[in-house]
Amino acid sequence: MMEHQRWYSSRTQLLLGGLLTIAIFLFLPCFQPEGHGKIYQKKKTPPVRPEMIVSTVWLAAHLNDPKVVILHVARTRTHYDEGHIPGARFVGWGEITTTRDGVPNELASVADLQELFARLGVGDDARIVLYGDNSGLSAARAYFTLDYLGHGGRAALLNGGLEKWKAERRAISTQTVEPKMAAFTPRVRADAVTNFDVVRDLSWTAANVPSPSVVLIDARPVDDYTGTIPGEGVPRGGHIPGAASVFWMQNLASKENPTLRSAAELRKLYEEAGVQHGRTIVTYCRTGAQASHSYFVLKHLGYDVVMYDGSFFEWSHRQGAPVVAGRERK
């Protein structure tokens, strides 16, 4: 009888030990410190938002669609007058930006933006296609503006822009479009843009916390990031502590062919800079122009992103705001 009890006890202990081992194996990732769970769990990859870009083929087939509004965004009217996509309406850079508290290229007021888009005939149910000068940079800024106004879900960039349209020998017009007024209702998304005080705290986290929950993306050229070339109006060259350098032109096949690189290539580019699903992602540049393109691309890749519109121009002028020179993040 005693032998039988000892055998039963040993068998029970072995069974319980096996169950405990299985439980530890299954639930161990839940108890890992932040930054270590990825050893056991595959990182989530957000789905791409394909509706944020349209092809030249698609646009050519929708030129006469009354629900499609095409906007040509450029620094000067000359860029539009020299030849634009038939039916496109001109948007000047100065119409969507303003100088506020000495900082250039800030978002124009909601009232001014509402008046602009209503005058351009951008109704609340329109499908908006954007393209323009500077390899799509101005169009990306217009996208950010519309996204801030709550209409980003209806807006898309023309992939390859006017450059690709012309290369394919598609129709070009020099006729000015006179649109009819339309009802444009702002639905402001305050979470699309952030400010100096918030970025100061996020910068500290990015620079000091292991496996930080925030990623700052500096969209300027590398020489601006390192401080080799401070940039116009920038009193202190360098970058915000903790920020990673990803020049916005890396999003494109080339300057001459401003077609977006594949989603896989773009995701790899930004993941190497620390971008992950679930992290707070902030883009900035000198005055919020280049950062608009990074903002667009990261949204296209499915990430949640905000932009520091004051960017390094404001940061470098703020007394006490730390600046890092060189290639190191901090």
Q: How many structural domains compose the chain?
A: 2
Contact 248, 295 (CB under 8 A): no
Determine the Cα–Cα distance for residues 73 and 95; give it in Å rounded to an integer. 10
Is 195 found in the same domain as 180? no
Is 279 found in the same domain as 203? yes
Catalytic residues: 285
Is 237 found in the same domain as 200? yes
Is 125 found in the same domain as 111? yes
Determine the Cα–Cα distance for residues 295 and 140; give it in Å rounded to an integer. 8
DSSP secondary structure string for all residues of 114-163: HHHHHHTT--TTPEEEEEESGGGHHHHHHHHHHHHTT-GGGEEEETTHHH
Give residue 245's Cα distance to chain centre.
14
Is 197 found in the same domain as 180? no
Domain boundary among 189, 205, 225: 189
106 - beta bridge partners? Answer: 98
pLDDT number for residue 191: 95
Tens-binned pLDDT, residue by residue, of the chain (330 aa):
433 444 334 444 434 444 433 333 333 333 333 333 333 334 689 999 999 999 999 999 999 999 999 999 999 999 999 999 999 999 999 999 999 999 999 999 999 999 999 999 999 999 999 999 999 999 999 999 999 999 999 999 999 999 999 999 999 999 999 999 999 999 999 999 999 999 999 999 999 999 999 999 999 999 999 999 999 999 999 999 999 999 999 999 999 899 999 999 999 999 999 999 999 999 999 999 999 999 999 999 999 999 999 999 999 999 999 999 999 999
Cβ within 8 Å of residue 29, ≥6 positions away: 37, 39, 40, 41
Q: φ and ψ at 77, to 5 degrees?
A: -65, -30
pLDDT number for residue 44: 83
Is 184 found in the same domain as 202? no
Determine the Cα–Cα distance for residues 23 and 256; give it in Å rounded to an integer. 57
Q: Per the domain annotation, does 99 fall within a domain?
A: yes
Domain boundary among 189, 213, 234: 189
Q: φ and ψ at 71, to 5 degrees?
A: -115, 125
Domain that residue 155 falls in: 50-189
Is 67 found in the same domain as 178? yes
